[in-house]
Chains A and B, each alone.
Chain A
């Protein structure tokens, strides 16, 4: 048989096996469309959250199941959907293609590449919405996730599987804290996902460039729903980011997801809900705005070995207005998360950066998410800072202070100065612990405030050049021997400085 005959035979065989006959499918008709929303008649059997296909090829998600119409959000170009168009059910809930190749890429919430680096090879499809792991599948959070920022790792430590909220007014350094955390994961094996919701594309471009420059992009995925995208994509973006992280968590790996920011996410959901004519509640948000964030953040956890291992740490970001922590969305998310890092505007403008308000910031996981050395050393700094805060306002009015009060104020000022850190310069945990010990031991008491920063850099240089073993020991454990070695190192350093 010649090759042409073989081809013809193959095609004939295919035609014979082809199913002909009449196929049946449930369809609907678009009765109203506009603002990224479509309302359809028919589709009696459609399920909530089911994917729909419009005649133009655009996809949508059914969100409102009413008595005579179905309301859906349109993913893709809403201008292609018109009144009278046919809509078909797909019978499926939204899934996104994910694979190892997603690392180092910038994508939209539907996993379409945005970085002009070509298509992304996917290994499997992940549901965008997934049920959070149950209680029995979880393990307590007791492994540290280092942010590389002294003020955070010492005062409000974050553990793997924790949800730690970063909250503050505009331009207080929230995204910088998140970026530094991603940079600090280099070499740890933790996969990072940065979800940009309603952000300026210029800002995301700057972030991408910084990550690439620092070599952090190779373990990071950026999910972008920019400010010019539809509210539907902004609504889906955090769930898509969580699905990407879950792909790696299902392989037993540790992951970090940053949602920047959930305030814009709530606004996008409010927009969709109002267009779908859902009844508005407080501040015109729909009644299930709490559930919007709780079901997202509950997916972050540390799983036990039986459930597959791995963890997903979440750093959601919320923007407040005029420092109001008691507003609706901030209080919602504060009640969901395992702590918050509060960044204050007046601290920022005083030059205290990162502008962490140690009094209002908290980590509900606490010391169990710290290395042993930091846990012992940081306890003292928290106490000294608390005393400093109490005395600081008092000192502005009192003229004559007793020696003890003056000493506390001086120590507190030096600790505050010592906790300042330049952006995009994360520090290893052992170096942080060594520096904080330097501050709390009184070694910095005789230094001028202006010299604290320079002394800190020299201390790190000294330690990395001559005390590598000490740093290694501190990163693993803490005991009297190490403490004595550190005291000795401080003495030698001070002698070197003269």
Chain B
């Protein structure tokens, strides 16, 4: 049985491979009509939105700071990580105390004061 998720995934793949997006859409709707799958269109739209959100999350730069991020700080972090044009998702976490924690393309960059304080505590406890 064909699911909305499979249809959405196939549509995305086809649109990446084919230059003419209109042609892809026409083929897609023709397929849906032929097999009486029009009822799944709302679900397919939902799956496409979900896929787009995941794509943005995957390529976005996530920065967590203890205080609101200034444009200069943001530019600095982007330059050091190499995420010049990535969409930004900024969050606040007071437990960092200072500095930042960033995630971009599967790598986590830890530069928070909270993390450094934790390292110091561990080092002192070992003594």
CB within 8 Å of B: which residues of A?
A: 10-11, 14-15, 18-28, 41-44, 86, 88
Contacts and interface: CB of A to CB of B under 8 A. Distances in A.
Nearest to B117: A18
Contacts of B127: 10, 14
Interface string B67-108: 000000000000010000000000000000000000100111
Interface of B: 58, 80, 103, 106-111, 115-116, 119-120, 123-124, 127
Given A27-B103, A41-B58, A18 B108 contact: no
A18 B106 contact: no
Contacts of A10: 127
A21 B111 contact: yes
Most chain A beta-carbon contacts within 10 A, residue among B108, B115, B124: B108
A23 B107 contact: no
B108 A88 contact: yes
Contacts of A15: 120
A25 B107 contact: yes
Contacts of A23: 109-111, 115
Given A19-B119, A25-B107, 13 more contacts: A10-B127, A14-B120, A18-B116, A18-B123, A21-B111, A22-B109, A24-B110, A26-B107, A27-B103, A27-B106, A27-B107, A43-B106, A44-B106
Nearest to A88: B108
A84 to B, nearest CB: 10
Contacts of B110: 22-25
A22 B58 contact: no
Nearest to B113: A20
Contacts of A43: 106
Nearest to B120: A18
Nearest to A28: B106
A28 B108 CA distance: 9
B106 A26 contact: yes
A24 B108 contact: yes
A190 to B, nearest CB: 39
Contacts of B115: 23
A4 B5 CA distance: 67
Contacts of B80: 22
Nearest to B80: A22
A27 B108 contact: yes
A498 B111 CA distance: 93
Most chain B beta-carbon contacts within 10 A, residue among A11, A19, A23: A23
A25 B108 contact: yes
B93 to A, nearest CB: 13
A99 B80 CA distance: 46
Contact of B124 (A14, A20, A44, A86): A14
A14 B103 contact: no
14 contacts: A10-B127, A18-B120, A22-B80, A22-B109, A22-B111, A23-B111, A23-B115, A24-B110, A25-B107, A25-B108, A26-B108, A27-B103, A27-B106, A43-B106
B121 to A, nearest CB: 11
Nearest to B124: A14
A88 B108 CA distance: 9
Contacts of B111: 21-23
A404 B108 CA distance: 85
Nearest to B110: A23
A14 B58 contact: no
Contacts of A42: 106
B124 A11 contact: yes
B100 to A, nearest CB: 8
Contacts of A44: 106
A77 B120 CA distance: 29
